[in-house]
Each structure stands twice: as C-alpha cells, then as structure tokens.
Amino acid sequence: MVTPPAGTLDRRAVVAQLLRGRGEMLVVSGLGSPSYDVHAAGDHDGNYYLWGAMGAAALVGLGLAQAQPGRKVLVITGDGEMLMGLGGLATIAVAGPANLVIVVLDNGHYGETGMQRSHTGFGLDLADIARAAGFAQTAILRDMDAVAALADTLAAAASGPRLYVVKIAAAATARSLPPRDGVHGKNRLRAHLGLNVS
C-alpha cells in the first residue's frame, strides 16, 4: 500500500455543508468527533448521536433506514469507527436500502484514542471496499465543491446504499457536546418520528 496524500478539508465545514437544508433527513452520528461535528452544525430532534458504540453507526443507520423507508437516513462517521465495523458494509449492501447514505470523515487517524495512524492512513480505501461489497455508489471527496455537490444530491433517489469518503485534515477541533443520555436520545428521536415514547 502507498501512503495516500493527507486530507485538507475542515471537518466542521464539511458537516455544516452536508446538513444545510437537510429537511426531514434523519442523521446518525458516530462515536466522538462526528457527533461533535453534527451537534456543532445545529442540534436537531432528528439527530441520533452514538456514545460508547464504536463501529455501530452504519448498522444503526441501516436499522433506521429499514424502519423508516420513506425517509432519507444519513450516517456521518469517522474512518476509525468504519474500520471497526467493516462487516457491516457487507450487511448493508445485501440489505440494499436505497434511502441510506454513509459519509466517512477520513483523517487517516484514530482521533479518539490519541491520533494513531489508521489503516486508511496507510492507504486502505473504504470506498473501494464498499464498492466491492455492492454499494450502489461510492466516491472519495477531496474538495468543498465535491462536498457541496454531494449535499445537493443527498435527498435524490438512488438504486441502493451509497458511501462517500471525505478526506479531512487531521486537526483537533473543540468539542460541541450533544446530550449524552441514551434514553433521552432514543425518546427524542422516537417522538420526532411520531412513535410512542412511554
């Protein structure tokens, strides 16, 4: 494997761009920094922040997409978490939800455990893995024009699940902490979906 060029995009700017005009899209955010990024872009009753569930964001997104087939579901997670949940990509591809989009914020490092270099930092290509698994569309995004173009197509019809890797800078950002009470998060999302909360 060849060491890929480092990402340069600002993670907060990327997430803010993706969530502009989100409408009724449901958003699942991965452990740590992706949850801080989603919260910093604006708390929303349709956000489901994961805590203590590394590797689960994509599969939680799958479950939500299957339970709510009439709504778009966006998962925003990091490369470290996606690497931990690689098997989930095969399950998602087989299930084939056309309303699910996964965005991997890839800085090539494990940001929550000390910025050790991750497998993507050594050249592993998550978009290629998703493509091989059977995702309908995959791509690597390296500039904000591509991110803006993706934001414009998030709500578009698709033939199956999509995965996009956004190459971000490996830089520390301030934490923007959403509510961390799991029951509160579950009940808030259920109420947002018009489901029983008792």
Domain 11-192: CATH class, spelled out: alpha beta
Please report, for the chain, the start and end positions of each structural domain, with discontinuous segments joined by +.
11-192
Owner of token pair 């390296």: 142
Predicted model pTM: 0.95
Share of the chain above pLDDT 90, in %: 75
d(C-alpha 109, C-alpha 168), whole Å: 10
The label of the residue with tokens 């500039």 reads: 143
pLDDT at 84: 92
What pLDDT was estimated at residue 13?
97
pLDDT per residue as tens digits for the range 26-47: 999 998 899 999 999 999 999 9
pLDDT digit string (tens) for 151-191?
999 999 999 999 999 999 988 888 898 888 889 999 999 99
Mean pLDDT of 118-136: 94
Q: How high is the pLDDT of residue 52?
A: 78
Displacement of CA 146 from its chain's centroid (Å): 16
Mode of pairing for the β-strands spanning 100-106 and 109-110: unpaired
Q: Which residue, 15, 60, 19, is CA-closest to 36? A: 15
